Copies of this chain bind each other. A is one copy, B any other.
Amino acid sequence: MTVEQAVAKLLELQKKLTAYNHASGLLYYDGVTTAPKETSDVRGETLTILGEASYILSTGEETSSLLDFLTEHESELDEKTRRIVYLMNKELRELRSIPMNEYIEYQRLINDAQAVWHKAKDENNYDMFEPYLAKIVETHLRFAAYIDPSKHPYDVWLDKYEPGLNMAKCEEFFSVLREKLVPLIKKIGEKPQLSDSVIHGDFPVEAQRKLSDRLMEIMCIDRGHCGIGETEHPFTINFTKHDVRITTKYHEDDFSDSMFSVIHEGGHALYELNTGDEYAFTCIGTGVSMGIHESQSRFFENLIGRSQAFCELLFPELQELFGLEGYTATDFYRAVNRAQPSLIRIAADELTYSMHIMVRYEIEKMLMNGEVTTKELPATWNRLYKEYLGVDVPSDKEGVLQDSHWSGGSIGYFPSYALGSAYGAQFIAKMREELDVDECIRKGDLAPVNAWLTEKIWRHGSMYEPAQLLEMVLGVPFDPTYFTDYLTKKFSALYEL
Contacts and interface: CB of A to CB of B under 8 A. Distances in A.
A222 B38 CA distance: 10
A45 B30 contact: no
A66 interface: no
A324 to B, nearest CB: 26
Given A22-B46, A26-B30, A41 B242 contact: yes
A15 B239 contact: no
A428 interface: no
A24 B23 CA distance: 8
Interface string A220-251: 00111111010000000001101100000000
A42 interface: yes
B22 A229 contact: no
B226 A42 contact: no
Interface in A183-230: 222-227, 229
Q: How many copies does the complex hold?
A: 2
Interface string A8-50: 0000000110111011101100100111111101110110111
B33 A46 contact: no
A100 interface: no
A1 to B, nearest CB: 22
Interface string A272-290: 0000000001000000000
A435 interface: no
A15 to B, nearest CB: 7
Contacts of A45: 15, 18-19, 281
Contact of A36 (B19, B37, B46, B224): B224
Contact of A39 (B24, B48, B242): B242
Contact of A50 (B19, B34, B239, B243): B19
Q: In terms of DSSP, what is the predominant structure of the interface of chain A? A: helix
A53 interface: yes
Contacts of A43: 22, 243
A48 B35 CA distance: 24
A26 B35 CA distance: 10
Interface in A79-104: none
A6 to B, nearest CB: 20
Given A15-B49, A30-B30, A49-B15, A22 B42 contact: yes
A42 B240 CA distance: 8
Contacts of A222: 38
Nearest to A12: B49
Contacts of A30: 26, 30
Contacts of A239: 39, 42, 46
Contact of A243 (B23, B39, B53): B39
A42 B281 CA distance: 10
Contacts of A223: 36-37
A49 B19 contact: yes
Contacts of A229: 34
A15 B36 CA distance: 21
Contact of A26 (B27, B41, B225): B27
A399 B16 CA distance: 40
A227 B27 contact: no
B36 A243 contact: yes
B35 A50 contact: no
Interface in A322-358: none
Interface in A416-440: none
A175 to B, nearest CB: 43
Contacts of A36: 223-227, 243
B224 A38 contact: yes
Contacts of A39: 224-225, 239, 242-243
B26 A243 contact: no
A229 B37 CA distance: 14
13 contacts: A18-B45, A19-B45, A19-B49, A22-B42, A23-B27, A33-B34, A36-B224, A36-B225, A36-B227, A38-B224, A39-B224, A42-B239, A43-B243
Interface of A: 15-16, 18-20, 22-24, 26-27, 30, 33-39, 41-43, 45-46, 48-50, 53, 222-227, 229, 239-240, 242-243, 281
